[in-house]
């Protein structure tokens, strides 16, 4: 690393490295984030959940959506509809989408996360989570 010679160079480096701890910053402020939770159990992975998770990560980055936190969960119990994705907006009830393909993922981002309108593929939530 060559010596930085100006305040602007420091600024530029900060912009560049910020992404490296982005994930931790988001985890730290999870309550303000749109949380996209991809079910990553054996069934989900077999149905392509890992690709869907990468897709959400890539899209969030390309579109510079800093308020989206992509994470994974265990099996949500909707194995018939894998890959499943649960989206929780701050202060709202989680919504679960099934059979998520890249196209549907794009729709979820554009219409639901950004636009606030519900898109097809919602699975009626059959349980209540026991989190505190």
Closest distance between other proteins and the C-beta of residue 20, in Å?
A: 6
| Binding flag, residue 120, other proteins (CB under 8 A) | no
Non-local (6+) Cβ contacts of 112 within 8 A are 87, 95, 118, 119
Helix residue ranges per DSSP H, the chain: 7-17, 19-28, 42-46, 49-62, 102-107
- Provide the mask over 45-84, with x wherever binding to other proteins is found by CB under 8 A and - wherever it is not: x-------xx--xx--x-------xxxxxxx---------
Which token pair is 40? 């990553």
For other proteins, the binding residue among 1, 91, 116, 117 (CB under 8 A) is 1
* Residues contributing to the site for other proteins (CB under 8 A): 1-7, 9-11, 13-14, 17-21, 23-24, 26-28, 30-31, 39-42, 44-45, 53-54, 57-58, 61, 69-75, 131-132
């Amino acid at each position: 690393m060559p010596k930085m010679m100006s305040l602007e160079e420091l600024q530029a480096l900060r912009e560049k490295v910020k992404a490296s701890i982005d994930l931790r910053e988001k985890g730290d402020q999870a309550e303000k984030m749109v949380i996209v939770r991809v079910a990553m159990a054996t069934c989900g992975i077999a149905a392509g959940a890992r690709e869907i998770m990468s897709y959400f990560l890539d899209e969030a980055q390309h579109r510079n959506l800093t308020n989206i936190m992509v994470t994974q969960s265990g099996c949500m119990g909707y194995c018939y509809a894998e890959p499943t994705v649960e989206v929780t907006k701050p202060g709202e009830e989680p919504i679960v989408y099934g059979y998520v393909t890249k196209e549907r993922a794009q729709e979820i981002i554009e219409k639901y996360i950004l636009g606030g309108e519900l898109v097809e593929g919602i699975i009626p939530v059959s349980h209540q989570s026991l989190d505190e």
